[in-house]
Structure 1
Amino acid sequence: MIPVYHDFTEQRILIFGGGPIGARKARRFSSEATVIVISPAFAEDNFATAELVRAAPSPPDVREWIARADPALVVTATDDNGLNDSIASITHENKVLLNRADRSEANSDDDRGSHTAYDVMIPATVEDSPVQVAISTGGRSPALAKYLREQIETDITSAGAMATLTADLRAELRERDCSPSVRRDAIRAVVRDPDVWKGLRTEEINPRQEATRVVRKIMGDER
């Protein structure tokens, strides 16, 4: 299994199930996509900006909803295994991406042989925009994925600011006609410099000035 990123901007995501899992999935996707949650009842939970449709869909209803909504992704999160299986089958027939959020990690492993090219797993993520790290245990240990996410949250503090800083530096170095190898070495040195990180995280020193110092040191005669 190879992790990939998918842009759901301005696309629809259809979630069947209004329990805590459905709410969590709605929160996850609502910042980017149009989310519709279909369920006969909804948990007292945060569904973000998702549209909540109170209905108890049968398999024919599911087929109609998929045809009407034209979703980029369907999520199964009901407590009815038979209905979830029907939703999955219909989603596969329509060649739409499917996330079986209703399945336990153990069951996901057992059913791995029945997976299709349209089945996707949604990993745990840590973000310091625009930096994002995805974590997956291959469906074996959600507790470990959560633990690793908590550890990485500390490690990537200010990574977003570093990404922005180095993007600006790369653009400036291109304008100065520096060779690709010098640009690469300079940016790598900035990313590895503890004083630049200290400036980004504490504001005790100016990170831009520190980055400029590092770049000048690497460039030597090419300044």
Structure 2
Amino acid sequence: MIPLGHDFTDATVLVFGGGSVGARKARRFAREAEVIVVSPAFTDAFEEVAVEVEVKTGNGSTDRSGTVSRIRAAPDPDEVGDWLERTTPTLVVAATDDETLNDAIGEAARERGALVNRADRSGTGDGDPGRVVVPATVREDPVVVAVATGGTAPAVSKYLREELEETLAGAGEMATLCGELRTELRSRGVSPERRREVVTDVTRSPEVWTTLRSGDSNRQQVIEDVLGEQLDDTGTGMGGDRE
């Protein structure tokens, strides 16, 4: 299994199953995709998902990315293909409690070249094409860290995810800071080698991490402080002499 990132912006994710697992999958992919969930009934967890999506997208939004639509239906295995034809999903999630139906969902997805996630099976299967595993993730946007055990030990993935949540505190701010700092250094004509040195020093600075983790940091001020400390009077970091 080789981890890959996939951009689901403007894509459709079709989820079969209205239980807690289906709700968890819907919440995960609603960060980017238009999610359509098909099930004869839905757990109360979907109400929480709906509230989260509404807060994120805002009222009156016409953008379907980052939305969750629920359709009450109980498709038979031979009807699954029709649902895929109508929705043209990039990813299909089989999260029902019916193994026969999940088998049909996986087969229909493969026939149409869509990715498929079987929530009722661990690992990636025996070389099933298009089969994907959704790992445990920790997000400090734009930083994302995924943990997977190939389905052998979900408890380990959960434990490591919880450990990483504390370790990654401030990582999103650091990543954003470094991106802005690189842009500023480039605009000042700083050489690529010197840019790498400066950004590396920042990422390894305990003081900067502490500042970013405080929650009240001003990235622009941090950038100005770094520029003042790291660059010489020429503003280019090219080794000009100081008087």
Please give the TM-score of this superposition, normalised by the length of structure 1: 0.89
| CA offsets 1:129-177 (integer angstroms, 9 cap, x no match) | 1111111112211111111111111111111111111111101111121
Matched, 1:93 2:82: no
Matched, 1:156 2:172: no
> Partner residue of 1:33?
33
> Partner residue of 1:66?
84
Instruction: Give the AA of the match of 1:22.
Output: G
In 1: Cα distance, 2:94 partner to 2:217 partner: 50
Which aligned pairs between 1:46-61 and structure 2 lie closer than 5 A? 46=46, 47-48=49-50, 49-61=67-79
- Equivalent of residue 148 in structure 2, options 127, 130, 136: 136
- Do the aligned partners of 1:189 and 1:214 also contact (CA within 8 Å) in 2? no
Which aligned pairs between 1:67-216 and structure 2 lie closer than 5 A? 67-103=85-121, 105=122, 108=123, 112-116=125-129, 118-202=130-214, 209=221, 212-216=224-228
Q: CA deviation at 1:56?
A: 1.1
Displaced runs of 4+ in structure 1, greater than 3 A? Answer: 203-223
Q: CA deviation at 1:55?
A: 1.1
In 2: Cα distance, 1:146 partner to 1:38 partner: 27
Secondary structure of the residue aligned to 1:113 is coil
Identity, % of aligned positions: 48
In 2: Cα distance, 1:94 partner to 1:82 partner: 19
Which has the larger displacement, 52-61 or 65-74? 52-61
Instruction: Give the AA of the match of 1:70.
Output: T
Q: 1:44 to 1:218 in 2, by over 3 A?
A: same
How many pairs are equivalent? 217
Q: CA deviation at 1:31?
A: 2.2
Say which structure is richer in helix: 1
In 2: Cα distance, 1:67 partner to 1:206 partner: 49
Q: CA deviation at 1:44?
A: 2.1
> Partner residue of 2:59?
none
- Do the aligned partners of 1:189 and 1:215 also contact (CA within 8 Å) in 2? no
Secondary structure of the residue aligned to 1:50 is strand
Q: CA deviation at 1:69?
A: 0.3
| Residue segments in structure 1 that go unaligned for 5+ positions in a row | none
Q: 1:9 to 1:179 in 2, by over 3 A?
A: same
Please give the TM-score of this superposition, normalised by the length of structure 2: 0.82
In 2: Cα distance, 1:86 partner to 1:204 partner: 52
- Do the aligned partners of 2:78 and 2:104 also contact (CA within 8 Å) in 1? no
